[in-house]
Amino acid sequence: MKIAVSIKQIPARDSLLRTAVSGEWIEEAGLDWEINEPDAYALEAALGLKERHGGEVVAVCAGPAQAAEALREALAKGADRAIHIEEDNLRAYDSLGVARLLAGAVRGEAPDLVLTGIQSGDLGFGQTGVLMAELLGLPHSTIVVGIEIQAGRLRVKRELEGGWFQFLELPMPAVLTIQSGIGKLRYATLMGIRKARTKEVRRTTAAELGVAPASTFEAVRLYPPERSKQTRMMEGDARAAAAALVEKLRFEARVL
């Protein structure tokens, strides 16, 4: 069984973010980078399936030269091969453009299963996985928190709202978008890091995949949320003031 996993490299969650001079994006110089968390769980799900059913895991990433670090981490954790779509300006592509890049790289692999994270931590559109499924002509399921393979078919557990879950059966091959928490993330071992140095990383470009930069949206301005301080006095006796405070916390601040 061959499993392709799409991963994205994004700024580390504990990075101190500053708006770039242009005002259209963040200042990327000096930032630390990491694998997008939902994609890390997609990789973990793929490695778990490989351990149970055999086969190979192929990690795929689109991005500049530094994105190779994310692929090396995936290889160190247990992925067998990697494909790096070298693109210095990934922001020139919208979700459909990125999906075309990833689908173009995956199509030649003819995988039995394609896994992606549910969404990215930087943009959070949550569209890449389902768009890949459409481009590849494959069935798909989203917000997956459990995967079983039985007789060449998938049985997946999906997370719904309010603590509910849904179980679906799909034929293979298929595309699944993985929810964070599907398993416990593993660390790269010293032996894994050593082996990663000898594993294949195939490089390709958007031009070789026949995908041109295109975007249907434009970032006009990026800025931190505007904060304002307000003081509100609760009138009445202690009981009435407490009731009014609880109401404000519940329905306006929404912290209760």
Torsion angle defined by CA atoms of residues 46, 145, 190 and 203, in that order, rounded to the nearest 10 degrees: 40
Q: Please check whether residue 214 lies inside any domain of the structure.
A: no
Q: What is the pLDDT of residue 223?
A: 80
Res. 115: pLDDT tops 90? yes
Q: Please check whether residue 221 lies inside any domain of the structure.
A: no
Query: How many C-beta atoms surround the C-beta of residue 254 within 10 A?
Result: 7
Q: Please check whether residue 78 lies inside any domain of the structure.
A: yes
Pairing relationship of beta strands 153-159 and 56-63 according to DSSP bridges: unpaired
Range of the domain at 69: 2-209
> What are the pLDDT digits (tens) for 235-246?
888 988 898 889
Q: Please check whether residue 217 lies inside any domain of the structure.
A: no
Q: What is the pLDDT of residue 95?
A: 92
Q: What is the pLDDT of residue 53?
A: 94
Q: Please check whether residue 195 lies inside any domain of the structure.
A: yes
CATH number, domain with residue 141: 3.40.50.620
Is residue 34 within 8 A of residue 13, CB to CB? The reply is: yes
> What are the pLDDT digits (tens) for 60-88?
999 999 999 999 999 999 999 999 999 99
Q: Please check whether residue 243 lies inside any domain of the structure.
A: yes
The mean predicted confidence, pLDDT, of the chain is 92
Q: Are residues 200 and 236 in the same domain?
A: no
The token pair that represents 8 in the structure block: 């994205």
Is residue 46 within 8 A of residue 67, CB to CB? The reply is: no
Domain count, the chain: 2
* Residue 209 pLDDT level (bands cut at 50, 70, 90): very high
Mean pLDDT of 159-179: 94
d(CA 176, CA 160): 15
Q: Are residues 235 and 187 in the same domain?
A: no
